[in-house]
A and B are shown apart, each in its own frame.
Chain A
Amino acid sequence: MAGPQSPKYIAERADQLLVEPLDAMTLIYQRRSGITHIVAEPVPEILAVMGGDALSAAEVAAWLAAQFDLDATDAEAVVATRLEELAALGLLERVRA
């Protein structure tokens, strides 16, 4: 999957999000849209590691692997799916390569 053509994403700015962990789920309120998202891991973790940088799924997976003791290659497919879902919700923006 990784390669020069793989898309990169920029997360919504942290000051636009109110994050409230509840139980297995986390609430994310997005100021700009007024929409509350109910998400499970690894979504809060993904948004946290992305910061303000434009990153690909492989790069996000590598960051997550470093922090949470995961295998980066295994994580990449999951991360890629989540990133597309988050982009559809408007929590990330896909950046044209």
Chain B
Amino acid sequence: MLLVEALRDPASTASLDADGWAALLSMARAEQLIGTLARRLTGLLIPDAVERILDEARVNAEYQRRSALWEADCARRALAGYSGKVVLMKGAAYAAEGLKASEGRHIGDLDIMVARADLPQVEAALLAAGWDWVKEDAYDDAYYRDHMHELPPLIHKERDRMIDVHHTILPLTARPKPDAAGMLADAVMLENGFYVFSPTDMVMHSAAHLFADGELDGGLRNLWDIHCLLMEFNDDSFWSALKSRAEHHQLSHAIYCATRLAHQLYGTEIPKDWRNRHRQDKWYIMRLTARDDWGRGTCKFIRLVFYIRSHWLRMPPLMLLRHLWVKWRKG
């Protein structure tokens, strides 16, 4: 796939003609990786028309970075009276720590994690500081509170920005039960006062997120995060620490599969004995790279399989039926 090739080896774009560039840019936009691509291609000799498009992507990525850090700061001020740790997750965390994964990255809603027992206090503080429920809906509300790993989403009334408050990294109904309290305990404070996960837990969350949330939508983006994190944290002790933390959090499967896919797609350096291909890898790769030259999703059947599979993973079968039934009745 053109996009994977360009991210993995930016110099490979030297052979692209006009149609090739058009296809690459549409794929990158569809996967929300255009800002990342722009950063990867910085400094290369590329056609002026493409450079102008990539400059636009750089402006936009800077806007998203600025907004994400500001939202994080607003949440910090709103929670100034809360004594527990408030851990930034995903895009905002990478940006706050200045990690390579944040370079050009698309960042949407703000995700934070706090201790589960403190949710009511955190919720009350955010409501008092101008956030509000996105929707008042008894079913969805009860569903979130009983089964999800986060509060129903809140939106700030003036800034119109969403925040997701998590208390763990996976839905409570998912089979793996990561040790959320352990993740909070190990979270580290940055110089600017924000907390982020420890390096191994950061990779853990990204891998869990890749497989558990959605139908591998945005999977290329997620795997690029994982690729960057692994490249940046890679040292002698990292891989054995990652292995034992993955076992502790019941996420070995996700970690092995994610690192293998990152290796196969982006050429991420991983230990030799982590590289043995599995039979299902090619299905994942097929799903992850299913885009045509106009940015359209292809391989409809594989997408459907992953859609059903993703719901299966998230919920025990009876609950899945109930969920689909209630959603269907409500149209």
Contacts and interface: CB of A to CB of B under 8 A. Distances in A.
9 contacts: A32-B66, A32-B70, A32-B73, A33-B66, A34-B63, A34-B66, A35-B70, A35-B159, A88-B130
B66 A90 contact: no
B130 A34 contact: no
Interface string B70-87: 100110010010000000
B65 to A, nearest CB: 10
Contacts of B70: 32-35, 90
Contacts of B73: 32-33, 90
B67 interface: yes
A50 B299 CA distance: 61
A90 B74 contact: yes
A65 to B, nearest CB: 29
- Assign chain A's interface to a size class: 10 to 19
Nearest to A93: B77
Interface of B: 63, 66-67, 69-70, 73-74, 77, 80, 129-130, 159
A90 B69 CA distance: 13
A29 to B, nearest CB: 12
Contacts of A33: 66-67, 70, 73
Contacts of B129: 88
Contacts of A35: 70, 159
A33 B74 CA distance: 10
Contacts of B77: 87, 90, 93
Given A33-B73, A88-B130, 9 more contacts: A32-B69, A32-B70, A33-B66, A34-B66, A34-B70, A35-B70, A35-B159, A90-B77, A93-B77
Nearest to A96: B80
Contacts of B130: 88
Nearest to B70: A33
Q: Which 10 A-B pairs have the closest CB atoms?
A: A33-B70, A34-B66, A90-B74, A32-B70, A34-B67, A34-B63, A90-B77, A90-B73, A34-B70, A33-B66
B127 to A, nearest CB: 14
A50 B320 CA distance: 58
A94 B74 CA distance: 13
A35 B71 CA distance: 11
B156 to A, nearest CB: 11
Nearest to B71: A33
A62 B80 CA distance: 28
Contacts of A87: 77
A87 B73 CA distance: 12
Instruction: Name which of A32, A33, A87, A90 has the most chain B CB atoms within 10 A of its CB.
Output: A33
A88 B77 CA distance: 9
Interface in A21-41: 32-35
A96 B80 CA distance: 9
Interface in A50-64: none
Nearest to A32: B70
Nearest to B73: A90
A94 B80 CA distance: 10
Nearest to A87: B77
A88 B130 CA distance: 9
A34 B159 CA distance: 11
Contacts of B67: 33-34
Nearest to A31: B66
Contacts of A90: 70, 73-74, 77
Nearest to B74: A90
A35 B251 CA distance: 40
Nearest to B67: A34
A35 B67 CA distance: 9
B6 to A, nearest CB: 29
Contacts of A88: 129-130
Contacts of A93: 77
